[in-house]
Structure 1
Amino acid sequence: MSNQTQTPAPGAQPPAPPPAAPAAAKGGSGAPPFPGTKPAVLGTLATVVSLVVLVALGEATHHLLMIAPLAATAMIVCSTPALPPAQPRNVVLGQLGSGVLGLAAVALFGHSLWVAAIAAGLSVGLMLVLRAVHAPAAATAVLAVLQDPKPVGFLVLLGIGSVLLVLIGLIASKAGVIAKYPTYWW
């Protein structure tokens, strides 16, 4: 073995350094950085306000608007407003499409955990076809199968809740509480 190193020819570029190791290999995490105290606090407060608005309107109208999938939607809109799942198209089409799919599944096959699982899985495919992926909407399909809601009322309330969360995100963005929202409408 030789201890000699090769000298590059005159005018030749030195070899590129090896790529940097990923953060996880350096002992860190591959998770995104903490957004900072102010965005974290404001995003949390915007989420709380969104959910309180859904509860207040639900109480006033004697209809349940604050359902688990919309709670997850509120978090996505208020804490990660620039991501595709937070955009109005994804929120509204994802939720309504999955709601319709869940109702169709229960009409065809009845209520069971098996039907709920299949409806949730199929809702993913539907959202991909609609180009409106919104993860909480898969839970909406499950809810539609297991809770047996009245179809028209369920879809109307789901649509109202989804649109309200988009509007609250827009207001929070205009007020400077959260980052720019939406990045696209449709």
Structure 2
Amino acid sequence: MPFNPSKWNVSIDRYINPWVPSPPWKHLPYPVAHFLGHRTTPQRPLGNVALAFWAFIGVFVSLLGVALIGRAIPSFQERGAPVIIGSFGAVAVLEFYAIESPLAQPRNSIFGQLIASMVGVSISKLFALNAWSGELLWLAGSLSCACATAIMALTGTVHPPGGATALLAVVNDDVAKLGWFLFPVIILSCILMKCVALLLNNIQRSYPSYWWSPEDVGQNWHAAEESDRQSHPDIQLGSKVEHSSSQDRDDDMTSDAHYGSKLIIERGKIVIPDDVFLTFEEKNFLEEISAKLQPTISK
């Protein structure tokens, strides 16, 4: 086989996804699941005026909250931490306007920022060991952003504002002097912005599109549950048959139909399985098909 590095492909999801738990939508009250991004029907598209309105509210509230809380934390003030890390301006645009983008999903926005800050601080401290570090900021900054981008690409956590975070951690004096204290600053900002995004983006829209990956997750958990059921058939099945009433069985059937693995399209109703990820355009396409279906006439 010829040596061809251009054909190499690294995917950590192949090893991680089977161990990532599936979304627990069945076990959560629907209002809670709703504000975590779960929907039983596709979200209806909004005009750009509504999108701009919610983006304005989200960006303003989230950045204001980060600034106020950061100013209220004594340890942040003692270390002279910036009120807002500059890269979070770009984060806000992604999380409150381009919310369907893979770059704005929780895995990318959180882990991308953490990876970028780790790389930036590491390279900043490495170059600080050199007496000429002040004259090599251009080299350190370029290397920091490049390394962060490569690592994010290989780990499936690409987040463009992360490149700015890695760069600022080296070339910006206010950020570079924080050292490893940059981590709690980044973590706090990520958590606060994510909470605001879940609250505001789920009023008329749906966020996030997925929490970890649009691909299947939790295969190993499902296999373990199935193995456990097969190894204890009497306990699992006997209890259900003996103690469940007809109403319970009807409820179970309704639950299975509601959360099953079938994609259901009816006039005015679309049910998408939890393990199926659809883009904004695909959801609109299904909605158009649903609108064209003839209404069911009961005889």
TM-score by length of 1: 0.75
Matches within 5 A, 1:78-117: 78-110=96-128, 111=133, 112-117=137-142
Structure 2 match to 1:52: 64
Specify the alignment match of 1:142 in structure 2.
Answer: 167
In 2, distance between residues paired with 1:65 and 1:79? 23
Give the structure 2 partner of residue 165 of structure 1: 193
Taking the aligned partners of 1:82 and 1:171, their CA distance within structure 2 comes to 16
Q: Which residue of 1 aligns with 2:224?
A: none
Which amino acid in 2 is paired with 1:106? Answer: S
Q: CA deviation at 1:38?
A: 1.4
Task: Choose which of 200, 205, 208 in structure 2 pairs with 1:182.
Answer: 208
**What corresponds to 2:290 in structure 1?**
none
**Cα displacement string for residues 126-170 of structure 1 (whole angstroms, at most 9, x for unaligned residues):** 111110110010010111112323333211111111121111111
Q: How many Å apart are 1:174 and its aligned residue?
A: 2.9
Provide the identity percentage.
Answer: 25
Q: In the alignment, which of 81, 98, 118 is matched to residue 143 of structure 2?
A: 118
Stretches of structure 1 that go unaligned for 5 or more consecutive residues are 1-33
Aligned residue type for 1:118: L
Within-5 A mapping of 1:61-76: 61=73, 62=77, 63-76=81-94
TM-superposed CA distance for 1:35, in Å, is 4.9
Tell me the CA shift for residue 175 of structure 1.
Answer: 2.9
| Corresponding residue pairs, total | 151
For residue 244 of structure 2, what is the aligned residue in structure 1? none
Aligned 8 A contact 1:65 1:157 in 2:
no
Cα deviation for residue 65 of structure 1 reads 4.5
Residue of structure 2 in register with 1:38 after alignment: 50
- Which consecutive residues of structure 2, in runs of 5 or more, have no partner in the other structure? 1-45, 213-299
Partner-residue secondary structure (3-state), 1:81: coil
Q: 1:36, 1:98 → 2: CA distance? A: 32
Is 1:156 aligned to residue 168 of structure 2?
A: no
Q: CA deviation at 1:102?
A: 0.7
The alignment's C-alpha RMSD in Å is: 1.7
2:209 alignment partner AA = T
Would you say the 8 A contact 2:66–2:189 is kept in 1? yes
**Kept after mapping to 2: 8 A contact 1:93/1:130:** no
3-state SS of paired residue (1:180): coil
